[in-house]
């Protein structure tokens, strides 16, 4: 296992002589097939805090303030939106949430957007966002997971701008989440061409975090051993596989609903940005095992796995329906998908999580003595 502070494998390559901040839409068109990376975060930058899905109720205010203090301690300024505090299922009406998010994405003085957490109904703002206009704006990082994937997946697919999956504001103070994993802030400070490497975590937490009871937590309660597995090769101790491709994915419960819509056009993204193929990753939040299998079948019928060089499946605490296990669900849906399928990987709602950059060039290695993923912002 590597020390987390050594996770960066810096391979800084100049992109046609352009500095990172100099890469604009014109430069991207000139360079051809490329994902656009927002410039690295710097001390003094402003992070926008808005809730395009669920807001924060009074019981979570201590955790919110603790996390905002962490951002300030890291050197960032904070811009709080109005769509932030609410006990309802959403932080504000869809039109209000969409406008605040759009305004932050278009504001050149904001360098990143970090919602407090996910929620349930972010999907209702997608028709209110003009992704063509957002693609022409100064790129900035969007950080989150869970229902935020409802935004981040189509944002990367439609604008070709990278997004960061694996943390949210309420988890921002937890550093390190595991010594072998990256910290979100370290990744957001990377330059194009740089590579970072993560290995499988050692232990995970087998339940959701209760931020009301633990408002000042700086660590997860990790007690269960992590064991990545490769589907259909679990009993082969010497099995080894390596695969590479451009990384894309999110929480299956919400991104699965986008398949077949204008917000889930994977084919167009592959043609524009990923001729080398994809590494797809999925996290299951609330699906029981039958629902899980059905959604994976849906993705397969829609042709999503035709582009895959490998698939990463996160840990899940979803309900097992009768005798039908999570592995049964994967076999039922994916047995005829002829690529490496790693499951119980550090992705999802049972922390800690890998930091995964939608759009990054990734390489996974699975073998007797190594479980790792490298990502290059290139």
CA–CA separation, 37 and 33 (whole Å):
13
DSSP 372: E
- Give helix 326-334 / helix 289-301 axis angle, nearest 10°: 20
The count of other CB atoms within 10 Å of the CB of residue 267 is 14
DSSP β-bridge partners for residue 197:
374
Nearest alpha-carbon partner for 166 in 364, 360, 339, 340? 360
Report pLDDT for 164: 98
Report pLDDT for 136: 96
Report pLDDT for 4: 41
Residues contacting residue 235 through CB under 8 Å, at least 6 positions apart: none
Report pLDDT for 33: 53
Query: Nearest 10 degrees: CA dihedral of 202, 206, 208, 211?
Result: -60
State the chain's maximal CA–CA distance in angstroms: 59
Report pLDDT for 34: 87
Report pLDDT for 32: 40
Residues contacting residue 211 through CB under 8 Å, at least 6 positions apart: 60, 63, 170, 217
Determine the straight-line distance between the first and last CA of the chain, rounded to whole angstroms. 26
Question: pLDDT (tens digit, 0 to 9) for every residue of the chain, 378 residues total?
Answer: 334 434 444 333 332 222 222 223 323 333 345 899 999 999 999 999 999 999 999 999 999 999 999 999 999 999 999 999 999 999 999 999 999 999 999 999 999 999 999 999 999 999 999 999 999 999 999 999 999 999 999 999 999 999 999 999 999 999 999 999 999 999 999 999 999 999 999 999 999 899 999 999 999 999 999 999 999 999 999 999 999 999 999 999 999 999 999 999 999 999 999 999 999 999 999 999 999 999 999 999 999 999 999 999 999 999 999 999 999 999 999 999 999 999 999 999 999 999 999 999 999 999 999 999 999 999
Q: What kind and span of H or E run contains 185?
A: helix 184-188
pTM of this structure: 0.91
């Amino acid at each position: 296992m590597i020390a987390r502070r050594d996770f960066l494998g810096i391979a800084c390559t100049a992109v046609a002589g352009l500095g990172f901040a100099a890469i604009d839409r014109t430069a991207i068109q000139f360079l051809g097939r490329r994902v656009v990376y927002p410039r690295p975060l710097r001390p003094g930058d402003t992070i926008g805090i808005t809730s395009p899905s669920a807001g924060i109720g009074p019981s979570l205010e201590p955790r919110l303030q603790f996390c905002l203090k962490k951002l300030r301690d890291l050197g960032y300024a904070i811009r709080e939106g109005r769509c932030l505090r609410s006990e309802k299922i959403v932080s504000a009406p869809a039109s209000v949430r969409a406008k605040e998010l759009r305004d932050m994405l278009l504001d050149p003085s904001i360098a990143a957007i970090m919602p407090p957490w996910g929620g349930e109904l972010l999907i209702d703002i997608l028709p209110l966002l003009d992704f063509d206009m957002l693609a022409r704006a100064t790129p900035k990082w969007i950080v989150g997971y869970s229902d935020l994937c409802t935004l981040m997946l189509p944002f990367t697919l439609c604008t070709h701008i990278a997004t960061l999956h694996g943390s949210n504001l309420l988890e921002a103070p937890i550093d390190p989440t595991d010594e072998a994993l990256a910290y979100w802030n370290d990744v957001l400070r990377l330059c194009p061409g740089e590579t970072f490497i993560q290995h499988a975590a050692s232990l995970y937490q087998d339940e959701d975090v209760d931020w009301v009871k633990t408002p000042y937590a700086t660590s997860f309660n990790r007690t269960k051993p992590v064991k990545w597995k490769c589907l259909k090769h679990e009993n082969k101790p010497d099995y080894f596989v390596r695969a590479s491709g451009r990384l894309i994915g999110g929480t299956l419960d919400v991104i699965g609903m986008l398949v077949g819509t204008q917000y889930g056009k994977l084919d167009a993204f592959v043609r524009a940005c990923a001729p080398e193929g994809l590494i797809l990753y999925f996290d299951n939040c609330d699906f029981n095992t039958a629902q899980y299998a059905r959604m994976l079948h849906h993705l397969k019928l829609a042709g999503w796995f035709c582009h895959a060089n490998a698939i990463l499946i996160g840990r899940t605490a979803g309900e097992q329906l009768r005798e039908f296990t999570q592995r049964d669900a994967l076999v039922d849906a994916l047995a005829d998908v002829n690529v490496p399928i790693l499951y119980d990987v550090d992705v999802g709602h049972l922390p800690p999580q890998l930091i995964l950059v939608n759009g990054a060039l990734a390489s996974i290695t699975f073998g007797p003595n190594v479980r790792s993923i490298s990502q290059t912002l290139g």
